[in-house]
Structure 1
């Protein structure tokens, strides 16, 4: 069963530029993961400190692979999450 999620990050204002520099490598490596269907990163037009990620994986195993990957641990867990004021993960399913 596919796993689809929306992740919302509110970055500390002083850290936004540094976090934005990490995103190209994160996106590139994530898109190459086995089981990744799509991975898109958005920045809010009204709040540049707000980042939205839309992720789709083939199944729960592919999502687990992503969360345990070396690049996720090095970039997201070690460098991005400590710079966040808020992190919200919402699992979604497409209705239409």
Structure 2
């Protein structure tokens, strides 16, 4: 089974940095408990505190789909974080090496 690497890029709306910063650690902690999660790491840009990158790895595409159906994803990402962003992109990659 091929693992899936997810790269999510967030640009936080001006003035919402603290609100997002309070939610992201809770998301990472919850995601790491999922049986299909391999890793979940969050990075804030050194040059732009509004720029975050989330590097997530799952055992399969199915595990990522299951992640997106969890209560914590819906509550923290869709209801909590996304409304506080100017931009969000999510890239999916099969792990090949």
Query: TM-score, normalising length from structure 1?
Result: 0.94
Number of matched residues?
Answer: 96
Aligned-pair distance for 1:60?
A: 1.3
Gap runs ≥5 in structure 2: none
Question: What's the counterpart of residue 7 of structure 1?
Answer: 8
Question: What's the counterpart of residue 54 of structure 2?
Answer: 53
Question: What's the counterpart of residue 24 of structure 1?
Answer: 25
For the residues of structure 2 that align with 1:92 and 1:76, how far apart are their CA atoms?
20
Relative to its length, the structure with more helix (as a share) is 1
Aligned-pair distance for 1:69?
A: 0.3
Aligned-pair distance for 1:95?
A: 5.8
Gap runs ≥5 in structure 1: none
Residues 17-96 of structure 1 mapped to structure 2, 5 A cutoff: 17-94=18-95
Judged with a 3 Å threshold, the aligned counterparts in structure 2 of structure 1 residues 58 and 90 are, in CA distance, closer, same or farther, namely same
After TM superposition, which residue ranges in structure 1, 4 or more long, deviate above 3 angstroms?
93-96
Residues 3-31 of structure 1, C-alpha deviations (whole Å, 9 max, x = no match): 11111000001111101001111111100
Aligned-pair distance for 1:92?
A: 2.6
Residues 35-62 of structure 1, C-alpha deviations (whole Å, 9 max, x = no match): 1001000000010000000010001111
